[in-house]
Amino acid sequence: MSAFVVGTAEFVVVGILDRIASGLHVTVGTAGLLVTAYALGVCAGGPALTALTIRVPRRLLICAALGLYALANALAAVAGDFTLLVLVRAVAGAVHGMFVGVASSAAASLAGPGRRGRAVAVVFGGIAAANLLGVPLATYAGHVLSWRSVFAAIAVLGCAALALTLALVPPVPSSGHGALRAQLRYVLTGPVLLALGVAVLLFCGQFTVFTLLGTYLQQVTGVSGGAVGAYLLVFGAAGALGTLAGGRCADRAAGTTLLVAAAVLTPALALLHRAGEHPVTAAVVLALFGLFGFGLAPALQLITIELAGPGGDLASTLGASAGNAGIAAGSAAAGWFAAGHPVAGLPLVGAAVCAATLPLVWMVSRARPTAATPR
């Protein structure tokens, strides 16, 4: 449930950007900065918070993150101006980065060998479930009620997730080396840095398209209002399936899973450019986008954790941060592109970024831990 709450809060603004823009008297392109601010918070704040709390017990840290996250969303619900909302989203992003990194590393640690990919997929599956249920429902509520009610509801759900975590999650051991300096020694290696770079680029390509997906569906596909939520539901359902399948496949061959998913995602994004004008084909291509875009995430995160060895806690957070650095770059690129070009061209831009990344994906799929990261 915790990852579900975090995932809903992260992605819901895509479906209600127009409402937020109208309510706070800014353009939709400017409102896209909310996506950028959140991603930058994850990118910069997540590792910083992880470094500061490297010796804190993992269960306590997860609970603290959920409490802070609920508070941030409560503040978002009452934000009086756009600047304050951007700042609150950046703080929420920082907490998100720490939470996802620590939670996925803890899940892998509790699961043990042979099931680590599926354990990581549980965390990412919560985020995928958010795209399946949370984001469409919140998008609908944002259009029928108000965007403020969405953030208020997320704050309440965050408190419920905190209570469940306190009741159900057992103590979690660290990844092995508690000192920050020791963890850095395992993280700052060529294979880990390459995996992080791939995360930046793949998520940049995806979010060049996803950031303004609601606007794309309205202007290109010709749907509006609650119908946008239906398309996001298709995307989320495919994403949930992709996450679960990707986790199981990653336990067998993480490198192959990553390579295949990225290789299919790239033409799927390009195809959206041609299929987006037709409601049915747009839904089919969005399903492919969600299936393989989410399907590569557990494999890439597991590879990053495995390559870092005892530096898994920090590497896991950096993996989430790298992905969100890509999200920030992609959302900023989408806003810049939309300011001077039709949004119909965004899928081609995203596909080009992913295509350029494929050689690096192949290298990561074959990478092994260096001598600096003994298992």
Range of the domain at 278: 2-365
pTM above 0.75?
yes
Closest CA to 34 of 18, 52, 49: 18
| Residue 373, pLDDT score | 47
pLDDT-derived band at 12 (thresholds 50, 70, 90) equals confident
Q: Is 370 within a domain?
A: no
- Let me know: does 180 contact 314? Beta carbons within 8 Å: yes
Q: Is 122 within a domain?
A: yes
- Quote the number of domains for the chain: 1
Coil, strand, or helix at residue 174? coil
| Residue 95, pLDDT score | 92
Tens of pLDDT, residues 348-357: 999 999 999 9
d(CA 270, CA 263): 12
| Residue 374, pLDDT score | 47
Q: Is 263 within a domain?
A: yes
**Residues with Cβ < 8 Å from 253, sequence gap 6 or more?**
none
Coil, strand, or helix at residue 146? coil
DSSP state of 311: G
**Residues with Cβ < 8 Å from 222, sequence gap 6 or more?**
277, 279
Tens of pLDDT, residues 266-299: 999 999 988 888 899 999 999 999 999 989 999 9
Q: Is 374 within a domain?
A: no
Q: Is 274 within a domain?
A: yes
Tens of pLDDT, residues 152-208: 999 999 999 999 888 887 776 655 455 677 778 888 899 999 999 999 999 999 999
Domain containing 89 — which CATH number?
1.20.1250.20
Q: Is 109 within a domain?
A: yes
